[in-house]
Amino acid sequence: MERRVKSVIVQKYGGTSVEAVSNIKGIARKVALEKAGGLDLVIVVSAMGDTTDELMKLADHITTRHHKRDLDMLLSTGEQVTVALLCMALREEGVTATGLTGWQAGISTTTDHGGASILSIDPERIQRELKMGNVVVVAGFQGITGKGDISTLGRGGSDTTAAALATRLGAERCEIYTDVEGVYTSDPRYVKKAVRISSLTYEEMILMARRGAGVLHPKAIEHAMTHNVPLVVRSSMSRVGGTWIHGAPGREVSHPVYGIVFDKGRFCYTLSGVPNRMEMKVIISSHLNSLDIEYDTLMEDREDTLSFLVAEADQELADPIFDSVGAIVRRERKATVTVVVRDENTYHVTLDTVRKILQEKGQAFHIIEDCTNHVTAVVEESHAIALTSLLHSAFGLDEVQTSEAAGVF
């Protein structure tokens, strides 16, 4: 019998949250209680623990020359295992549940295997299941192309699935459950005095995510932002705390710096002896843009030097571009450390402070150019964590309380 669906909550559980059967049973008990409380729930799940890595190892035993379509077919099975087990656990709790793969859930994507983007979602199947009173469990990270092929969404794909579904279903909110209690002023695994931030705007969270905060993928935030669906990042082990991500700015705070994040997965190309730097910059930027490679350029003291920073994952695509420019190119693994500022008026003061601190520590660094809402230093990979902790202390974030870190939603 069909019933009226009042409001939908989308929840996403990541790999660490579902890494063992005991975890999955715990999630089923939690979902059962929420369902009994009258919520209509769509649950998006990742593969269990290190399943995706283990599947990649299996593929490597066959060949290291992977066909991306084959890889998508293989890797998509990880999430499907979690879907089936959670549905079984929910039934044991007396909850009727329907498990759906990405394509059964109506998720259509581009044909970029391994890094596809969601084009559209047909919500009809999910809505029908909700009207029947079922909890719907959807495999994250996957969809189907126009050719009918299985596709995967790349890094952060389950986050993106959850946010996109929340947007399409007009959900009240999208809850992202992970192994930390929210978004912190820095990575709490490495910066022990990092503090949970209670509230961020979409724009603030996107910036932190792009600069190294791994708790959410930028694509997920962008999907939620398009229809102003609030995101909540919480621990799967506790309902305490959490960080709300939404469209309204927080209240005035005493600390304009609200985060120090780092990213060790960066690759730097430095061109020396460039006769016309601006012309070369335009040419290389055009090539990188044509391949959708995100990049940064660095401030340089010498007029014949030009440096670009790309994600290490894009190195294979970027190499031919720099090989073809006819200049001397130095390639180096680097890291970035970013001080994220809430008040753009304090950018230059923050920049001067970062420069002074790094110079006093004898650190070699470059600054990413064309920024106003963050100061990003490019440093040696081995120094990234220590410098993040140093700047976290220097900007007073060690003493900030959760209520001060950001406004309350």
Q: Give the mean pLDDT of 82-110.
A: 97
The answer to whether 14 is annotated as binding is yes
Average pLDDT, stretch 150-175?
95
pLDDT of residue 180: 86
Q: Are 151 and 111 in contact (CB under 8 A)?
A: yes
- Rounded percentage of the chain residues whose pLDDT exceeds 90: 72
63 marked as part of a ligand binding site: no
Query: What type of residue is 337?
Result: V
> Quick one: pLDDT at residue 247?
84
Confidence at 155, pLDDT banded by 50, 70, 90: confident
> Which tokens in the block code for residue 205?
């969270």
Task: Name the least confident of 155-169, 205-219, 270-284, 394-408.
Answer: 394-408
On whether the 257-405 domain is CATH 3.40.50.300, my answer is no
Q: Which residues of 358-377 are buried (b: 16+ CB within 10 A; e: fewer)?
A: beeeebebbbbeebeebbbb
Lowest mean pLDDT among 2-6, 219-223, 308-312: 2-6
Topology at the third CATH level for domain 8-179: Carbamate kinase (3.40.1160)
| 13 annotated binding-site participant | yes
Give the whole-angstrom CA distance, residue 326 versus residue 249. Answer: 47
Q: What is the pLDDT of residues 325-358, one digit of tens each?
A: 877 788 999 999 999 987 778 888 999 999 999 9
Q: What's the pLDDT score for residue 250? A: 53
pLDDT-based confidence at residue 296 (cuts at 50, 70, 90): very high
Give the confidence band of 401 by pLDDT, cuts at 50, 70, 90. low
- Residue 177, annotated ligand binder? no
pLDDT band at 302 (very low <50, low <70, confident <90, very high): confident
Model confidence band, residue 408 (pLDDT cutoffs 50, 70, 90): very low
Looking at residue 409, its pLDDT comes to 27
Query: So what's the pLDDT on residue 404?
Result: 46
Distance CA 81, CA 287 (A): 40
178 annotated ligand binder: yes
Residues 6+ apart with CB under 8 A from 204: 258, 340, 342
pTM score, whole prediction: 0.88
The domain spans of the chain are 8-179, 257-405
pLDDT for 2 equals 64
Q: How far apart (Å, rounded) are the C-alpha atoms in residues 82 and 99?
A: 10
Q: Is 77 annotated as a binding residue?
A: no
Question: What is residue 168's predicted lDDT score, i.e. its pLDDT?
Answer: 96
CA–CA distance, 230 with 202 (Å, rounded to integer): 9
Residues in the chain: 409
pLDDT tens per residue, range 169-211: 999 999 999 888 999 999 999 999 999 999 999 999 999 999 9
Residue at 272: amino acid letter? S
Give pLDDT, residue 277: 83
Other residues' Cβ atoms within 10 Å of the Cβ of residue 151: 32
Residue 34, annotated as binding a ligand: no
Q: Is 184 annotated as a binding residue?
A: yes
Is 15 one of the annotated binding-site residues? yes
Annotated binding residue at 347? no
The pLDDT value given to residue 274: 83
Tell me what pLDDT residue 399 has. Answer: 79
Residues 324, 285: contact at Cβ < 8 Å? no
pLDDT confidence of residue 403: 47
**Average confidence (pLDDT) over 126-134:** 96
Average pLDDT, the chain: 90
